Amino acid sequence: MSEIFRHLNDLIDRVHYLQDIKGEEWGGCPYILEELLKLKDRFYEVADDHLEDILKSLESRLEILEERAAKDLTPYEIVKITRNPQRFTLLDILENVYDSYTELGGEGETNIDPAMVCARAMIARRVGGKVYLHQVIVIGHEKGHGEEYRTGGSAKPWGNEKALRYMRVAETEGIPIHFYIFTPGAYPIEDYPGAAQQIARNLYFMTKLRVPTVAFISEGGSGGAEAIGLADIRLMASCGYYSVISPEGAAAIEGKLKEGERPPRELVEFCARQLKITAEDNLRLGTIDRIVPEPPLGARRNDYQFFKRLRYEIIRATDEVVLRTKSLKAFRTYALRRKKEEENPPEDFDVYVRWELSEVEIEKLLDLRSKKYRSMTRWAVKVPKSSLKSCLEKTQDFGARFYHDLRYGVLKQGQKMLQRLMEEVSSEGAVLIKQVTEPFKAVYDLLGAKGKRPRPKIVSSEEQALEDMGELYVSPLALEDRTVTCPNAERYGCPDIWVPDLYGEFCGVCPNCGYHFPLEYEWYLKNVFDAKSVKEFNEDIASGNPLGFEGYDKKLEQARRRSGRRSGIITFNAQVGGISLMVAMLIADFRQGTVGVAEGEKFIRACDRARIMKRPFLAFVHTTGGIRIHEGTLGVVQMPRCTMAVREYIDAGGLYLVVYDNNSYAGPVASFLGCSPYQFAIRSTRIGFAGPRVIRETTGEEIPPDYHSAENALRRGHIQGIWDRRELRKKLYQALLTMGGKNLYYR
Amino acid sequence: MAFDHQEINQLLQQLRANPYRYHVVTTPHTGYLRRFLVKEGDRVVGPSGKWLERPGTGLFVLERERNEKIIRAHTTGEVYKVHQRYEGQFVEAYQPVLEIRHALTQEEIIAELLQKSLHIVKAPEKARYLLAPQLARKIEKEGEGRVVIQPGEELVIMSFMKRETPIVHEGPPMVVFRVFFSHQQMVEQGAPLLGLCSQKELPYIQKLISRIKEEWPE
C-alpha cells in the first residue's frame, strides 16, 4: 500500500515538474494532475488492483507527454530545468557520487557562506574487483532545496575567498580538485573582499593551481561560475546552462526595460536562444570539453543512474587530466578513449591511474592549461587574412622576440655579471684610494688654498622627463561657449564652470570640489603619453558577431561608424617621461568598453608583447561595462583567458598596472583588471561588480549613491590609490619608477 | 523656555486657521526662466530615498550662459502660486518665482508645539548617550511625563571613546516629558535629548497634545 502511495506522490511530483518546465496548461498536464489528486483524496476507498491499473495508465500517458516535452525543449525551458527545486544539488552529489566526505569551513547554516560548500571527499574506483580510494577536495555552489540561507547558490565574496583557501589546501596536499558550478551568479556586494576583486583573485590563483582540476557545470552564471570554473577539463550537464547573463537580465537590457518591469516571455525566450547557453551550444563554441548526459528532462535528486554516470565521468576526466601530463600513457589513454563510446558506464574501470603528479608533470599540467585557455575562442577572432600588414606585423613580432631574447636573455646576464664585478672593484678601489689620499687632502684643506667648489645643481630628472608634451591638445568638448553645473554644486556650492575653461585648463576637473567630468579617451592619449610615442598595433582585429545574435550586426556597425574603431580596446606602445611601456586601453566609445573575443585577444597579445619586449604593462580603463552579452560565453571565457596572460606576464617579472577612469564594472574587473597588485583610480570613477539596479533587483537591498565610488573602493581595499587627472602623467611616471624596482623590464 | 499660554493658544489658532507651511522658491542665480515645469495645484515631492538620492520634482528651467538647469522641489506639497509673468524673462538672483504649500501633518504640529512649549536639553557634542541609571529606572517604573527631576540630579550620561561625562539638571524641578533618543544611541551635536516642562504646565501640554490628536487628521 505504502509503495503505491509513494508511486502516486512520485507521479504528482513528475507532473508538477513538467508543468514548471512547459507551463501550467501544457499538453494534458492539468487533466493528469486532477486525476492524480482525485485518486489521492480517495486513496483508501479504491481497491489496490484498481489503483495500480489507473496509475499505470496515467503513468503511460505522462511518459508520452514527457517524451514529447523532451523532444522540443527550448533553451529557456532548459534554464527552468536547471533552476527547478527538484534538480540535484552539490550535497546530493556529495552523498551519491563520493564515498565519504567531510564538509570544510562550515556546515549547513553555520557557515561563512552556505552558498559555497567545500569538502574533503573520497571517491572509489573499482579495478578488477579491487577498490582504490582517491582523495579529492570538492568545491562548489550549493543551491539547496529551498533553504533561504543558501541565497540560491550565489556565493558572497567571502564564500569565494573560502573556496580559494581550500584550493590552497589542495595544492599543499597535492590532491585534485573537483569544482561543481551551480550558481545563477555571484552575490553582487562590494564589502571586503569584494565580489569582483575576489573572483579576480580566485581566477589568478587557479591559472597556476598545481593540481589537476575538473569542473562540472550545471548552472553557470557568468562571473560567479568563473570564480571556481578555471579547470583543466570542463564538463557540463546536458540540461545545464552556461551563460554570460540570465535570459531575463539580457531581455531587460535588450528591451530597455525600466526597473521593476517584467520582460515579456517571448523576449526572454528570444534572448535565451540568442545567447547560446545550452550544453550543445557551449560544446560547439569550445567553452566546455564534454557533456555529461542526463535523463531527457534533466536529472533530479533521486536519479541514481545519473549519479553513477557522473561518478564515472568525473573519475575519467580526472584520469584524462593526469594522463596528459605523463610521458608513458598510450595504453591507458586508449583504455579511456574506448570507454567514451560506451552508453552505459561500467562499474569497473580497466585501469588505475594515480592522481599524484611529480614536479615535471605539474609543469606540464600548467603548460597544457595555459595552452587550453589561450587557444579557446581563438577561432572567433576576426583578423584580415594574409594582408601585407599582418605579415609585416608577424615579422616584426618575430624580430622583436629574437632581439629582446638576445638582449635581455643572453647578453643581459653577461652584462649584469660584468656590471656587478665592476661595481665591486670600483668600490674596493675607492676605499683604498681614500685611505692613501686622506692625509694629503687634510693638509690641503688646512692650508685653505682655495674656496670650496660649488656643488653642481641637481636638476630633477622627473621634471626633465615630463616636460616634453608636444603640441597642446584641446578636447572637442571645450569648443562650446556655455557653462555647466558641477553635480556637487548643491553640496559644496560650486559655481558654474565655463566649458572652454573646464575642458581646457582645468582638464575636466571642477576647480572648487575636484569632481572629474568624463573626458574622451583621446585626451589621455595626447596628455598622458610622450609626444608622438603612441604606436598602435593589432588595430585590424575587429569585433564580430560570432553567435549570430539577431540585430547585433547593426549595432556593431553603428559603433564602428561612431567611434571609427573596430573594437572596444586600443593596444599600443607608448612612453611616459621616456619610459617605454605597453598599454591596453578599454574605451567607452565602442559599445561602452565591453569585452568580447576581439578585445580579449587584443589584450592577450598586448600582454604577451609586453612580456617579450620586457616592458611594463598598463591597462587603462576609460570605461568598461563588463563582458559583452551579445557574445555569450565566448565573452565570459575572456575572463580566464586574459587572467592567464596576466599571470604569466607577472610571473615572468613584469610590472602590471591598472588605472580606472569613469565606470568599470563586472567581468573585466572580476578577472584581468582586479587581479593586478597595483590598481589605481582617477577621482570620481566608479568601480564595482554589478550596478545599483542589479544589486537592488538581486539582493533586494537599497545601496547608497556613492556605493561604487573610488573612495569607497579605496576604503574597502580594492584599489591602492586615487589619482587626480591633472597629475595623471606625473603619478604614472612615479608609479612606474617606484613600483618597477628590479622587476621593471626596461631597466 | 517660559511657557506662554497665550502664545501657545495663538499658535494653535493660527495652525487651525491655516494648517500649512509655505515654501517660497527663489531663483538661485540670475538667468532666463525658460519655462515652468509645474502649474498651480500640481503635487510636487521633495528629495526621497534613504539617502535622499532621488531628486525632487522639477519646478522650472533656469538658463544662464546656455546652461539649462532644472530647479527642483526641496519639499513635498502642492504648488500654491506660480508667478507666470517671469516665464521667458530674465530674473535676478533670489527672485521668488513660485510657492509650495506643505500641509502640516499631526506629527509635525506636535513637534512644533513641543519645540515651543518644552525646555529642550540638547546634545553638547556628537556622542553616545544613555539615561542616568536612576532616572532610567524611574522612567521605566512610572513612564514618561511622570518623573520629576531636582536641580543637580543626573539627567544623561554622554559616553564617547571610554570617556563618560554626566549632564546634570540645572534650574527648578521639572518633569521629563519626552526622551528623544534610544539607549546607547549615537546623537549628533545639537540634536534634542530630553524635553522638560514644569509640573504646573504638564496637564496643559498633555491636553494640548490629546486635542491635536483628536482634532487633526492623520
Q: Test B69 with A704 for CB contact under 8 angstroms.
A: no
User: What angle in degrees, to the nearest 10, is found between the helix axes of A265-274 and A75-83?
Assistant: 100
More confident residue, A1 or B161: B161
- pLDDT value, residue A459: 47
Cα–Cα distance, B75 to B20 (Å, whole number): 12
> In chain A, which residues have their Cβ closer than 8 Å to the Cβ of B49?
702
Considering chain A, what percentage of its residues have pLDDT values greater than 90?
69
Q: Higher pLDDT residue, A630 or A446?
A: A630
Cell representation of residue B152:
543637580
* % of chain A at pLDDT higher than 70: 92
User: Higher-confidence residue: B144 or A363?
Assistant: A363
Q: Which residues of B touch A481 (CB under 8 A)?
A: 66
As to burial, measured by CB atoms within 10 angstroms (0-12 exposed, 13-18 middle, 19+ buried), residue A568 is: buried
Q: Which of A429-443, A498-512, A626-640 has the lowest mean pLDDT?
A: A429-443
Lowest mean pLDDT among A157-161, A577-581, A675-679: A577-581
Compute the mean pLDDT over every residue in chain A, rounded to the nearest whole number: 90
CB–CB contact B66 A481 (8 Å): yes
Of the two residues A444 and A656, the one the predictor is more confident about is: A656
* Adjacent-strand bridge partners of A584: A571, A619
pLDDT at residue number A103: 95
Tell which B residues from 44 to 63 touch A, by Cβ distance under 8 Å.
49-51, 53
CB-facing half-sphere around the CA of A206: CA atoms within 13 A: 35
**β-bridge partners, B31:** B91
Q: Is the pLDDT of residue A15 over 80?
A: yes
Q: Does B72 touch chain A (CB under 8 A)?
A: no
**What pLDDT is recorded for position B1?**
47
pLDDT, residue B210, reads 84
CA A667 and chain centroid, separation? 5
DSSP designation for A700: -
Work out the minimum CA distance from B85 to partner chain A, whole angstroms. 26
**Residue in this structure with the C-alpha cell 596536499, named with its chain if needed:** A173
Angle at B55 between CA B49 and CA B61, to 5 degrees: 170
Beta-sheet pairing, A579-586 with A617-621: parallel
In the prediction, which pLDDT does A335 show? 66
Chain B residues whose beta carbon lies within 8 Å of the beta carbon of residue A480: 66
Instruction: Report the pLDDT value the prediction gives residue A25, as an integer from 0 to 100.
Output: 84
Determine the distance in angstroms separating the CA of A481 from the nearest CA of chain B, rounded to an integer.
8
Q: Which domains does chain B have, with CATH numbers?
A: 20-103 (2.40.50.100), 107-215 (2.40.50.100)
Nearest-5° angle of CA A157, CA A161, CA A162? 120
Alpha-carbon gap, residue A240 to A77, rounded angstroms: 10
CB contact under 8 A, B50 and A704: yes
Q: Which pLDDT score is estimated for A454?
A: 52
Least confident range from A35-39, A442-446, B126-130: namely A442-446
What's the pLDDT tens digit per position in B138-186? Answer: 999 998 888 999 999 999 999 888 888 999 999 899 999 999 998 888 8
Q: Indicate the pairing of strand B163-168 with strand B154-160.
A: antiparallel
Per mean pLDDT, which of A43-47, A690-694, B56-60, B106-110 is the most reliable?
Answer: B56-60
Task: Give B51's contacts in chain A (Cβ within 8 Å).
Answer: 704-705
- Using 50, 70 and 90 to split pLDDT, how confident is the model at A336? low
Alpha-carbon A359 to chain mean position: 28
B66 touches chain A (CB under 8 A): yes
- Residue from A163, A179, A280 nearest A232 by CA: A179
Q: Does B218 touch chain A (CB under 8 A)?
A: no
Tell me the mean pLDDT in the region B78-88.
96
Produce one character per residue of A250-277: b if its CB has 16 or more CB atoms within 10 Å, e if not. bbbebeeeeeeeebeeebbbbbbbbbbb
Q: Determine the residue among B50, B61, B62, B67 to mutate to test chain A binding: the one whose Cβ has the most chain A Cβ atoms within 10 Å.
A: B67
Most B CBs within 10 A among A480, A491, A496, hence the mutation to make, goes to A496
Q: Do B65 and A702 touch (CB under 8 A)?
A: no
C-alpha cell at B109: 504640529
pLDDT at A745 exceeding the cut of 60: no
Closest-CA residue of chain B to A701: B50
Q: Which of A483, A702, A705 sits opposite B64 (nearest CB)?
A: A483
**B 15-34 near A (Cβ less than 8 A):** 29
**Are A496 and B49 within 8 A, CB to CB?**
no
- Asked whether the beta carbons of residue B67 and residue A482 sit closer than 8 angstroms, the reply is yes
pLDDT at position A456 is 46
Q: Does B71 lie at the interface with A, CB-CB under 8 angstroms?
A: no
Q: How far is B53 from chain A (nearest CA, A)?
A: 6
Tell me which long-range contacts A401-408 makes (C-beta under 8 A, separation of at least 24): A401/A612, A404/A612, A404/A613, A404/A614, A405/A612, A408/A614, A408/A745
> Which range, of A181-185, A335-339, A703-707, A713-717, averages the lowest pLDDT?
A335-339
Query: Residue B69: which of A485, A498, A704 has the nearest Cβ?
Result: A485
Give the confidence band of A747 by pLDDT, cuts at 50, 70, 90.
very low
Average pLDDT rounded to a whole number, residues B77-86: 96
Q: Which residues of A touch B (CB under 8 A)?
A: 480-485, 496, 498, 702, 704-705
Tell me the CATH number for domain A519-743.
3.90.226.10
Q: Which residue of B has its CA nearest to A495?
A: B29
Q: Give dist(CA B49, CA B67) in Å, integer.
A: 28
pLDDT digits (tens, 9 = 90+) for A583-606: 999 999 999 999 999 999 999 999
How many residues are given for chain B?
218
C-alpha angle with apex A677: A601 to A213, nearest 5 degrees?
60
Facing B51 at nearest CB: one of A480, A483, A704: A704
- CA B68 to chain A, closest CA, distance in angstroms equals 8
CB count within 10 Å of CB A178 equals: 27
User: CB distance B65–A704 less than 8 Å?
Assistant: no
**What's the confidence (pLDDT) of residue A334?**
66
- CB distance A481–B51 less than 8 Å? no
**Which pLDDT belongs to residue A173?**
96
Residue B4 confidence (pLDDT): 62
- What per-residue confidence (pLDDT) applies to A684? 95
**Mean pLDDT across chain B:** 90
Contacts of A498 in chain B (CB under 8 A): 65
Task: Measure in Å the smallest separation between the Cα of A486 and chain B Cα atoms.
Answer: 11
CATH assignment of A83-375, among 3.30.420.40, 3.30.200.20, 2.40.170.20, 3.90.226.10: 3.90.226.10
Choose the mutation target among B27, B30, B32, B53 for the interface with A, i.e. most A CBs under 10 Å.
B53
Torsion of CA A627, A632, A633, A637, to 10 degrees: -30
B67 at interface of A, judged by CB pairs closer than 8 A: yes
- Which residue in chain A has the smallest CA separation from B65? A482
Structure confidence at residue B211 (pLDDT): 81
| CA dist., res. A227 & res. A245, Å (int) | 15
Grid coordinates belonging to A548: 549570430
Report how many Cβ contacts below 8 Å link chain A to chain B. Answer: 24
Q: Is the pLDDT of residue A216 over 60?
A: yes
Question: Which helix (H) or strand (E) is B20 found in, with range?
Answer: strand B20-26
Parallel, antiparallel or unpaired: strands A686-688 and A663-665: parallel
Confirm if B117 and B205 have CB atoms less than 8 A apart: yes
Contact A482 B66 (CB under 8 A): yes
Question: pLDDT category, B117, cuts 50, 70, 90?
Answer: confident
Residue of A481, A483, A702 with shortest CB distance to B50: A702
Q: What is the mean pLDDT of residues A337-352?
A: 72
Region of residue B128 (phi > 0: left; psi between -120 and 50: alpha; otherwise: beta): beta
Give the pLDDT band (50/70/90) at residue A464: low
Over residues B129-136, mean pLDDT: 92
Q: How much is the pLDDT for A61?
A: 92
Evaluate if residue A141 carries a pLDDT over 70.
Answer: yes
pLDDT at A655 (0 to 100)? 93
Q: Which of A480, A490, A517 to mutate to test the interface with B (most CBs of B within 10 A)?
A: A490
CB contact (8 A) between residue A498 and residue B65: yes
The more confident residue out of A411 and A30 is: A30
The pLDDT, as a whole number, for residue A629 is 94
Chain B CA closest to residue A705 = B53
